[in-house]
Amino acid sequence: MRQSTVRVNLSGKTAVITGGGRGIGKTIAEYFADAGAAVVVAARSAEEIANTAQAIISQGGEAFAVKADVTVNGSVEALFREAEKRYGGVDIVVVNAGGSTLINNLEACEPEAWKNIIDGNLLSVFYTARAAIPCLKKRGGGKIIVTGSGAGFHVIKKASAYSCAKAGLHAIVKTLAEELVSDNISVNEIIPGPVNTGLFHAAQKAGDTYDPDGEWFKEPCEVAQLALYLTSFPDNGPSGQTFSLRRRPLF
């Protein structure tokens, strides 16, 4: 487990991380655990999250794997019940599950496939935030960190569903920041840009060769350090903000 250059003390905190079985989510889970947090790792693949949890435990950290499908409301609610039962509460939520390899013009998209991407990247954020908020309120505050995309600001050709979902995700972040300001719950979005993950390479294989000149092609650990840095702020700190690791303007 690679150690972060960002030093944050999360001892006594519990973090729930969706999409924690691989890539960015797995690395965020490892970094949070290294900072002292008890980490609840969630994803649809029981094997992947078990591997993440075991990797953390083998390094002396605290982790618990919960199989959950973030596109199913009941599954997400069960995830947070398990987190509270195991650790007594939740302080930090990283809404990271998502992704897309569907590359086609809108006219040629199959409706069900288009809807599946909306479900996985937008409806899942609604379900996760809705289930997380009561847990955070019980703690008197907390943090929600959402993994967004530059596609929510600059549409990607042949990725209409993904772009629409990520634009909606950005709107959810802004809305929640306003709604939760008096509850000491901060809600922020991180924009990784291109990252060396299996999902990125799968998208390229499917025909998405979008690779702007001069862009920073980074490793998951560099995104994890940004997520960890955001946990260092007070719960009543920055909220409704977008933190980007791209080398190009978002706006």
Contact 29, 20 (CB under 8 A): yes
Strands of the sheet with 185-191, listed across from one edge: 62-67, 38-43, 14-18, 92-95, 142-147, 185-191, 242-244
Report the distance separating Cα 36 and Cα 29, nearest Å: 11
Asked if residues 11 and 34 have their Cβ atoms less than 8 Å apart, the reply is: no
Distance CA 32, CA 37 (A): 6
Q: Is 162 a catalytic residue?
A: yes
CB contact at 8 A, 41 and 20:
yes
- Per-residue buried b or exposed e for 12-22, using 16+ beta carbons within 10 Å of the residue's own CB: ebbbbbbbbbb
Query: What does the buried/exposed string (b/e) look like for 134-164 if buried means 16 or more CB atoms within 10 Å of the residue's CB?
Result: ebbeebebbbbbbbbbbbbbeebebbbbbbb
Q: Hey, CA dihedral for 14, 219, 171, 110, is it positive or negative?
A: negative
Query: Cα-flanking dihedrals φ and ψ of residue 54, to 5°?
Result: -65, -35
Active-site residue, selected from the candidate residues 87, 162, 210, 229: 162
Alpha-carbon span 135 to 53, nearest angstrom:
22
Active site positions, annotated: 162
